[in-house]
A = this chain, B = another copy of it.
Amino acid sequence: MRELLRLPVGERIALSSYDASATPGGPAGKAAGLAAAAAHGPALADLQERLYAASTAGERRRMLLVLQGMDTSGKGGTVKHVIGQFNPSGCRIRAFKAPTPEERGHPFLWRITKALPEPGEIGIFDRSHYEDVLIARVRELAPRAELERRYAEIDAFEKSLTEDGVTIVKVFLHLSYEEQRSRLLERLDNPEKHWKFNPGDITERAVWPEYQEAYEIALERCSTDAAPWHLVPADRKWYRNWAVSTLLLEHLEELDPQYPKADFDVAECRRQLLTQ
């Protein structure tokens, strides 16, 4: 799946050439997809425990899932359903909103650095430093020259993270314009979902093409060998969950974390316990 969903490095991609309702490599339908995603649960939890256990012996490896996508593309749903399969104590989740005044007073990576996973943890970013080249580009929140610098800064930042043991899994949830309309209407039609709706969502939707272009540029400039982007078609929620959980599973399997060996005398401890 990693190869299938990974975007090419250093090439401009046309988002319009990707079908958001496709299910590349996926199970043969919703029922099979739900079952397959649920079946990942035990393996994900086991690998997470091993990763955490290894950190107690000094290993610095950890994972960082970066979720990006338009409103309603399913970033929150992915956290709920996919990350919900892990032991919550080993997850460090951060949803990035518009920067606070304090955050705006610092370089854009400042708040990101503070939210990184510790060794052994799985970090999850619901939005991320990419907002600083996405909404910042569309809404001209920074001078163009500054924006241009940020792509290289992001690449260097992510490379330094990978060198410090962070496996970065970047996922762009690719949603269609029509599916977004349908999901926004769904929120309006259900009073229990009104809290998820923001009239600002309509304002952002009005500049959909500008966002698609900003994404295309970011995906081109920041798909690197160290930290490639993956494009997950997101019109079908079951496929999105299955695909992201598969990506995490494959990356964790590659890490192949091992329980550390005891650094104490097991027999002696047992003897003491039996007489205590």
Query: Considering the chains assembled together, what is the distance between the CA atoms of A91 and B83 in angstroms?
Result: 12
* A194/B266 contact (C-beta < 8 A), A83-B88, A88-B80, A89-B79 known: yes
Say if the beta carbon of A149 comes within 8 Å of chain B. no
Given the contacts A194-B261, A273-B181, A93 and B89 also touching, CB distance less than 8 Å:
yes
Q: Are A266 and B205 in contact (CB under 8 A)?
A: no
Q: Which chain B positions have C-beta within 8 A of A273?
A: 181, 184-185, 188, 202, 205
Copies in the complex: 2
Q: How far is the CA of A57 from the CA of B259 in the complex (A)?
A: 45
**Set of chain B residues within 8 Å of A217, measured between Cβ atoms:** none
Residue of B196, B206, B260 near A276 (CB, 8 A) is B206
**A206 / chain B contacts, CB cutoff of 8 Å:** 276
**CB neighbours of A272 from chain B (8 A):** 202
- Between A and B, 27 residue pairs with Cβ closer than 8 Å are A53-B196, A56-B195, A57-B195, A80-B89, A83-B89, A84-B84, A84-B87, A84-B88, A89-B95, A89-B126, A181-B276, A184-B273, A185-B273, A188-B269, A188-B270, A191-B261, A191-B262, A192-B259, A194-B259, A194-B261, A194-B266, A195-B260, A199-B264, A199-B269, A202-B269, A202-B272, A202-B273
Taking beta carbons and an 8 Å cutoff, which residues of A are in contact with B? 53, 56-57, 76, 79-80, 83-84, 86-89, 91, 93, 95, 126, 181, 184-185, 188-189, 191-192, 194-199, 202, 205-206, 259-262, 264, 266, 269-270, 272-274, 276
